[in-house]
Amino acid sequence: MRKLVLLSVILFLSNSYTFGQFYAEDFDNGEPDPWIDTLIITIDSSSTLWQIGIPQKEFLDEAFSFPNAIITDTVSPYPASDTAIFTLKAALNDDYYGIVAIKWVQKLDIDSLDGGTVDFSIDGGETWENAFVSPYVYNWYGWDNHNIDTLANETIVFSKRDSLWREIWFCFDYSWLSTLDDSLQVRYSFFSDSIQGSSDGWVIDNIMIEPTWVHTVGEAPKSNSYVSLYPNPATERINIELKKSDEFHIIKELKIYSESGQIVKSFETIPTKFFVDVSDLPSGVYEVLVRSNLKTEVHKVIVSK
């Protein structure tokens, strides 16, 4: 098995800290694992809200693995009008094919107008995509739907209270990642509004990056064909999934044609599990061309409003 290499990233607080080679970053001690070379976390120096230490609050009063975690202040309720960020950066070995899961455990105690979100960047941090709504995310789950909210600026976030330790899975198609020129970066951001509350915030522990051939979400084939497109008819989005392969496997080209033959949507070098927003297309019959590195198929899809 090949390994996933995490690039060194400096942790900025008052000093710099290196956590070393860990299978999972539990913020305590760990053993080296062949999948992970180095795991170092960057905390944005513009805020001191994200802290690594022993949780000592009324609700968030312990780490998942004793004694330390990363938390929005180890002692006090999180302050008003703050934004706090920490980031992971991963360099990927292109010899592995399958799914890569970034996993962690978390608890929440967040006011309903505040929240924490997870974004990722594939262009060196120039642009960021919210994991909740990006078609490039293979799977993203593990939370209670009660804890998903939308802020006034329309950012989708974790919010409210969740007393259970939840294991969150945030997954990518490894073949697609291996085509990127830049490393994958994952950003954890916490936002509070101008109203000071008494809530504890967001605690995260045991961050892990793990390749997997057998994904943990049941994924029965949607059809016997190489390309599955659903739902059909569609109103908001069309999901595209290719039959799994044990070799390098990406969609090199995806195009949607109108009945007149005009290209209305076009994508290149995308994962084998993807979705396209068709809410802006008029009702009608469309042809969807899907060309991977292994095969090409064309399917008809009805968009119905």
Query: Within this chain, do residues 193 and 269 fall inside the same structural domain, yes or no?
Result: no
Looking at the domain assignment, is residue 218 inside a domain? Answer: no
Looking at the domain assignment, is residue 52 inside a domain? Answer: yes
3-state secondary structure the chain: CCCEECCCCCCCCCCCCCCCCCCEECCCCCCCECCECCCCCEECCCCCCEEEECCCCCCCCCCCCCCCEEEECCCCCCCCCCEEEEEEEEECCCCCCCEEEEEEEEEEEECCCCEEEEEEECCCCCCCEECCCCCCCCEEECCCHHHEEECCCCCEEECEEEEEEEEEEEEEEHHHHCCCCCCEEEEEEEECCCCCCCCCEEEEEEEEEEEECCCCCCCCCCCCCCEEEECCCECCEEEEEECCCCCCCCEEEEEEECCCCCEEEEEEEECCEEEEECCCCCCEEEEEEEEECCCEEEEEEEECC
User: What local confidence, expressed as pLDDT, does residue 7 receive?
Assistant: 30
Query: Within this chain, do residues 266 and 198 fall inside the same structural domain, yes or no?
Result: no
Query: Within this chain, do residues 100 and 202 fall inside the same structural domain, yes or no?
Result: yes
Query: Within this chain, do residues 101 and 185 fall inside the same structural domain, yes or no?
Result: yes
Task: Quote the number of domains for the chain.
Answer: 2
Q: Supply the CATH number for residue 56's domain.
A: 2.60.120.200
* pLDDT tens-digit profile, the chain (305 residues): 333 333 323 333 322 233 222 344 667 655 444 444 445 678 888 889 999 999 999 999 999 988 999 999 999 999 999 999 999 887 665 556 678 888 899 999 999 999 999 999 988 899 999 999 999 999 999 999 999 999 999 999 999 999 999 999 989 998 898 888 777 889 999 999 999 999 999 999 988 887 776 554 445 555 678 999 999 999 999 999 998 887 889 999 999 999 999 999 999 999 999 999 999 999 999 999 999 999 999 999 999 98
Query: Within this chain, do residues 75 and 172 fall inside the same structural domain, yes or no?
Result: yes
Looking at the domain assignment, is residue 207 inside a domain? Answer: yes
End-of-domain residue from the set 160, 184, 212: 212
Q: Supply the CATH number for residue 292's domain.
A: 2.60.40.3080
Looking at the domain assignment, is residue 19 inside a domain? Answer: no
* Total-model pTM: 0.85
User: What local confidence, expressed as pLDDT, does residue 195 receive?
Assistant: 95
Looking at the domain assignment, is residue 244 inside a domain? Answer: yes
User: What local confidence, expressed as pLDDT, does residue 1 receive?
Assistant: 32
Query: Within this chain, do residues 277 and 157 fall inside the same structural domain, yes or no?
Result: no
Looking at the domain assignment, is residue 2 inside a domain? Answer: no
Query: Within this chain, do residues 191 and 66 fall inside the same structural domain, yes or no?
Result: yes
Query: Within this chain, do residues 237 and 202 fall inside the same structural domain, yes or no?
Result: no
Q: Residue 274 sits in which domain range?
A: 227-303
End-of-domain residue from the set 212, 244, 275: 212
User: What local confidence, expressed as pLDDT, does residue 288 receive?
Assistant: 98
Query: Within this chain, do residues 56 and 104 fall inside the same structural domain, yes or no?
Result: yes
